[in-house]
């Protein structure tokens, strides 16, 4: 920590407070990516499905935050309604589409979920249009914490990071400390055996998928006031989340958390240190890690 | 057994069918209107692209979701090598496009061929996105507007001009010749010991490794070759339309070429060509129906995957099997 921060002083490019702000931004972005990537990695690790449409759920979440908060006038109400809707969406999609994919190869999974992206994007264009929209930060969280005379940090971003951390903790407890979590982990290691023991594996899968959809949509909803709402936002997140999952190791929640934070920081600082290569920093990082560990930094840890 | 018989019967007719299609394609500009000549040329370019992906998906067992990167690099080679106030030379820029696309595929391959299955899908997509940003965000690629070429390349060898690339039907025949060449090359290559080894890797990588085959090198070679062929397709596409932009490298393009393979069926070469025709026909019909044609395309893909595992090509096989009395495919 010390050598780096002194390097900033020497270069006179960034003082301590700017560094702190960027650090917080990087962590916040990383935690947001974690919410999306954790669903992606769970759905793959447990159900064996590669879901390209996962980014669309993030997009759907952001647009729900926009539409529902303009209808109700309150982002928190919008988020609660949005969570319910996204769980329902997850259940319906699993029942209608995903359940056909469990015994198919990856190529067919890729295609079906690719088709799903086209459907979601086009529906978005029909229902809401192709404009960029902003979502207001709720008044309670609208303040900023002053750091120096000129620099301050918005409370809403801290709130986002806090919520993401709480969710990460709850997810860990759900999977490792509850009966449902036990069923999920069992289902991940042997689907047939779990059914033979009389547990309803289809229900477990449906729950996992709905959980993944809800996490991604929730991430989109809380990100909406910061990132604004625009077409193509889902794909952008999806591809970065693939990088997160590749680095973290498929199926590993802990790996997804570490990798998401790493990517969040690399992206944020990459934009400042090498602005010319801003778009490609995270991919170069992925390439480096692939050379070092082709299976990701973390092997699967119990589901 | 029965399917082996059917296979043998089919392979007896295949050369005749393929020859017939080539003759039809060669005669088409005599009858078709200018619009359709250009459209069929575009389809044949996509067919080369789909063929290159078939080498990976159908014969090496590598499902790449980032193949558009090499298509785009081939296209950008022409865009970047074209001087502003004169025409580029076809005989220089075409090999250069294949070389650069192949080189990029080699470098990407060094990383991606190390991983398998679902990782491979995600990593190829991520690398393709990296190239997208290279062209989209840097001065080198001239940003999101891309490059528009003022002149078509010329095919001059000294003072001799074998064909004129400003003429749409010359472009058509040029593309047709290259499609036939790519098809024949892959056909011969896949029967060589190298091609057999690739197919061995597709069906059982561990066995090939224990037989002493350098699996990594074979896969890398296949990935590089597929990249170079995709570069050829990209080059021809840039030549036909006269401009390039980053959308050529977008993941939609990678998804669409995979869709072509699924429509035609992979692992047969001619399926890739059939798939390219089916894909363009499908999108043309949907675009004629509605502005929101992507919705129909998406829904069609979903229905296709759920109800027709194995692609359109499997329908004929299934039909035959049911009639022979093999029963339904459970």
Task: Give the integer Cα–Cα distance in Å for A230 and A134.
Answer: 9
What's the pLDDT score for residue A119? Answer: 95
B83 and chain A: CB distance < 8 Å anywhere?
A: no
- Over range B123-131, report the average pLDDT: 92
Residue B1 has pLDDT above 80, yes or no: no
Task: Give the integer Cα–Cα distance in Å for B174 and B181.
Answer: 11
Does an H or E element contain A80, and which? helix A75-96
Q: Which among B118, B122, B298 is the nearest to A122, CB-wise?
A: B298
Residue appearing with tokens 């159908």: B58
- Taking Cα atoms as reference points, which of B2, B12, B56, B68 lies closest to residue B201? B56
B330 and chain A: CB distance < 8 Å anywhere?
A: no
What's the pLDDT score for residue A102? Answer: 85
- Residues of chain B with Cβ-Cβ distance to A40 below 8 Å are none
Contacts 24+ apart (CB under 8 A), A93-101: A93/A209, A93/A213, A94/A205, A94/A206, A94/A209, A94/A210, A95/A206, A97/B302, A97/B306, A98/A47, A98/A49, A98/A51, A98/A205, A98/A209, A99/A202, A99/A205, A100/B305, A100/B306, A101/A49
What's the pLDDT score for residue B28? Answer: 84
Q: Helix, strand, or coil here: B214?
A: coil
For B60-109, the DSSP string reads I----S-THHHHHHHHHHHHHHS-SSSPPBHHHHHHHHHHHHHHHHHHHH
- Residues of chain A with Cβ-Cβ distance to B57 below 8 Å are 107
Task: Give the integer Cα–Cα distance in Å for A116 and B50.
Answer: 22
Confidence band of B7 (pLDDT split at 50, 70, 90): low
Task: Give the integer Cα–Cα distance in Å for B285 and B211.
Answer: 50
State the nearest Cα–Cα gap between B301 and chain A, in angstroms: 5
Nearest chain A alpha carbon to B63: A107
Kindly provide the b/e burial profile for residues A79-96, where b requires at least 16 CB atoms within 10 angstroms of the residue's own CB: bebbbebbbebbeebbee
Which residues touch A290 (CB under 8 Å, ≥6 apart)?
A: A246, B111, B112, B114, B115, B123
Of the two residues B148 and A170, the one the predictor is more confident about is A170
- Contact yes or no for A112 and B301 at CB 8 A: yes
- Contact yes or no for A278 and B137 at CB 8 A: yes
Q: Which among B63, B130, B295 is the nearest to A119, CB-wise?
A: B295
- Over range B29-46, report the average pLDDT: 88
Of the two residues A103 and B39, the one the predictor is more confident about is B39
Nearest chain B alpha carbon to A127: B292
What's the CATH number for A20-145+152-292?
1.10.3470
Alpha-carbon distance values, A143 to A25, A46, A160 (Å): 16, 41, 14
State the nearest Cα–Cα gap between B307 and chain A, in angstroms: 10
Task: Give the integer Cα–Cα distance in Å for A287 and A284.
Answer: 5
Integer-rounded Cα radius of gyration of chain B: 20
Alpha helix ranges (H) inside chain B = 2-31, 34-54, 68-81, 90-112, 117-137, 168-191, 193-203, 205-210, 215-241, 251-264, 270-289, 293-307, 313-324
Task: Give the integer Cα–Cα distance in Å for B171 and B181.
Answer: 15
- Taking Cα atoms as reference points, which of B228, B227, B236 lies closest to residue B67? B227
Q: Which among A97, A245, A246 is the nearest to B302, CB-wise?
A: A97
- Contact yes or no for B63 and A119 at CB 8 A: no
Q: Which of A65-74, A183-192, A230-239, A283-292 has the lowest mean pLDDT?
A: A183-192
- Sorted by where each begins, the domain ranges of chain B are 18-248
- Contact yes or no for A276 and B126 at CB 8 A: no
Integer-rounded Cα radius of gyration of chain A: 20
- Contact yes or no for B114 and A294 at CB 8 A: yes
B65 and chain A: CB distance < 8 Å anywhere?
A: yes
Residue A50 has pLDDT above 70, yes or no: yes
- Contact yes or no for B134 and A284 at CB 8 A: no
First-to-final CA distance of chain A: 34
B297 and chain A: CB distance < 8 Å anywhere?
A: yes
- Contact yes or no for A242 and B134 at CB 8 A: no
Task: Give the integer Cα–Cα distance in Å for B232 and B183.
Answer: 13
Q: What is the DSSP letter of B268?
A: S
A112 and chain B: CB distance < 8 Å anywhere?
A: yes
What's the pLDDT score for residue B314? Answer: 59
What's the pLDDT score for residue B23? Answer: 86
What's the pLDDT score for residue B311? Answer: 57
Q: What is the DSSP letter of A74?
A: -
Which of A56, A121, A122 to mutate to probe the B interface, most B CBs <10 Å?
Answer: A122
B156, with CB counted inside 10 A (0-12, 13-18, 19+), is: middle
Q: What is the DSSP letter of A245?
A: H
Q: Other C-beta atoms within 10 Å of B229: how many?
A: 29
Residue B103 has pLDDT above 90, yes or no: yes
- Contact yes or no for B292 and A126 at CB 8 A: yes
- Sorted by where each begins, the domain ranges of chain A are 20-145+152-292
Nearest chain A alpha carbon to B139: A276
- Residues of chain B with Cβ-Cβ distance to A104 below 8 Å are 305, 309
What's the pLDDT score for residue B9? Answer: 61
Nearest chain A alpha carbon to B112: A290
- Taking Cα atoms as reference points, which of B95, B98, B93 lies closest to residue B74? B98
- Contact yes or no for B299 and A115 at CB 8 A: yes
State the nearest Cα–Cα gap between A100 and chain B, in angstroms: 7
Residue B278 has pLDDT above 80, yes or no: yes
State the nearest Cα–Cα gap between B287 and chain A, in angstroms: 13
- Residues of chain A with Cβ-Cβ distance to B286 below 8 Å are none
Q: What is the DSSP letter of A280?
A: G
Q: Which among A106, A112, A284 is the nearest to B305, CB-wise?
A: A112
State the nearest Cα–Cα gap between A131 and chain B, in angstroms: 16
- Taking Cα atoms as reference points, which of B37, B36, B73, B35 lies closest to residue B52? B73
A80 and chain B: CB distance < 8 Å anywhere?
A: no
pLDDT tens across A220-250, in order? 999 999 888 998 899 889 999 999 998 888 8
Contacts 24+ apart (CB under 8 A), A287-293: A287/B111, A287/B127, A289/A246, A289/A247, A290/A246, A290/B111, A290/B112, A290/B114, A290/B115, A290/B123, A291/B111
- Taking Cα atoms as reference points, which of A101, A114, A105, A97 lies closest to residue B258? A114
Residue A45 contacts residue A38 (beta carbons within 8 Å): no
State the nearest Cα–Cα gap between B110 and chain A, in angstroms: 9
Residue A64 has pLDDT above 90, yes or no: yes
State the nearest Cα–Cα gap between A293 and chain B, in angstroms: 10
- Residues of chain A with Cβ-Cβ distance to B298 below 8 Å are 115-120, 122
Q: Helix, strand, or coil here: B286?
A: helix
């Amino acid at each position: 920590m010390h050598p780096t921060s002194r390097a900033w002083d020497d270069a006179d490019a960034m003082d301590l407070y700017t560094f702190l702000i960027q650090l917080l931004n990087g962590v916040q972005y990383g935690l947001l990516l974690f919410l999306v990537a954790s669903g992606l990695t769970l759905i793959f690790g447990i159900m064996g499905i590669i879901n390209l449409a996962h980014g669309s759920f993030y997009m759907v979440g952001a647009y729900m935050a926009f539409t529902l908060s303009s209808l109700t006038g309150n982002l928190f109400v919008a988020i609660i309604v949005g969570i319910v809707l996204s769980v329902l969406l997850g259940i319906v999609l699993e029942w209608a589409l995903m359940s056909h994919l469990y015994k198919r190869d990856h190529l067919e999974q890729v295609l079906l979920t690719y088709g799903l992206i086209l459907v979601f994007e086009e529906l978005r264009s029909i229902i809401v249009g192709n404009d960029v929209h902003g979502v207001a930060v709720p008044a309670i969280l609208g303040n900023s914490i002053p750091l120096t005379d000129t620099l301050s940090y918005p409370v809403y971003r801290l709130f986002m990071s806090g919520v993401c951390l709480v969710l990460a903790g709850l997810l860990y407890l759900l999977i490792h400390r509850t009966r449902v979590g036990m069923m999920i982990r069992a289902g991940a290691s042997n689907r047939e055996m779990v059914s033979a023991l009389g547990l309803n594996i289809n229900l477990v899968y449906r729950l996992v998928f709905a959980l993944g959809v809800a996490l991604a949509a929730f991430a989109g909803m809380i990100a909406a006031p910061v990132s604004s709402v625009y077409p193509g936002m889902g794909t952008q997140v999806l591809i970065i989340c693939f990088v997160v999952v590749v680095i973290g190791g498929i199926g590993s929640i802990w790996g997804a958390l570490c990798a998401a934070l790493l990517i969040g920081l690399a992206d944020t600082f990459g934009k400042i240190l090498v602005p010319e290569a801003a778009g490609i920093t995270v991919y170069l990082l992925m390439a480096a890690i692939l050379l070092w560990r082709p299976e990701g930094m973390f092997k699967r840890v119990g589901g | 057994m029965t399917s082996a018989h059917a296979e043998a019967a089919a392979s007896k007719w295949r050369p005749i069918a393929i020859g017939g299609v080539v003759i039809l394609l060669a005669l088409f500009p005599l009858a078709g209107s200018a619009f359709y000549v250009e459209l069929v040329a575009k389809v044949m370019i996509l067919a080369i692209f789909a063929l290159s992906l078939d080498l990976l998906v159908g014969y090496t067992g590598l499902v790449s979701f980032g193949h558009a990167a090499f298509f785009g690099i081939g296209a950008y080679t022409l865009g970047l090598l074209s001087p502003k106030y004169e025409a580029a030379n076809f005989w220089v820029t075409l090999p250069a496009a294949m070389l650069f696309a192949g080189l990029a595929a080699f470098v990407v391959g060094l990383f991606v061929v190390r991983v398998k299955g679902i990782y491979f899908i995600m990593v190829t997509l991520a690398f393709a996105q990296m190239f997208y940003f290279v062209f989209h965000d840097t001065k080198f690629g001239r940003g999101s507007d891309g490059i528009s070429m003022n002149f078509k390349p010329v095919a001059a060898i000294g003072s001799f001009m074998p064909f004129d690339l400003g003429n749409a039907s010359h472009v058509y025949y040029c593309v047709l010749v290259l499609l036939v060449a790519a098809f024949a090359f892959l056909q011969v290559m896949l029967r060589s010991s190298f091609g057999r080894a690739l197919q061995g890797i597709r069906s059982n990588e561990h066995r090939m490794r224990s037989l002493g085959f350098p699996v990594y090198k074979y896969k890398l070679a296949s990935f590089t070759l597929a990249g170079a062929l995709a570069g050829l397709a990209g080059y021809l596409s840039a030549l036909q339309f006269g401009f390039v932009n980053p959308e050529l490298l977008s993941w939609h393009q990678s998804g669409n070429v995979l869709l072509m393979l699924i429509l035609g069926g992979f692992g047969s070469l001619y399926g890739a060509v059939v798939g390219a025709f089916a894909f363009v026909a499908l999108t043309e019909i949907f675009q004629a129906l509605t502005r929101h044609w992507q919705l129909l395309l998406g829904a069609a893909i979903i229905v296709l995957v759920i109800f027709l595992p194995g692609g359109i090509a499997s329908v004929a096989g299934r039909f035959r099997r049911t009639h022979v009395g093999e029963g339904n495919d459970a």
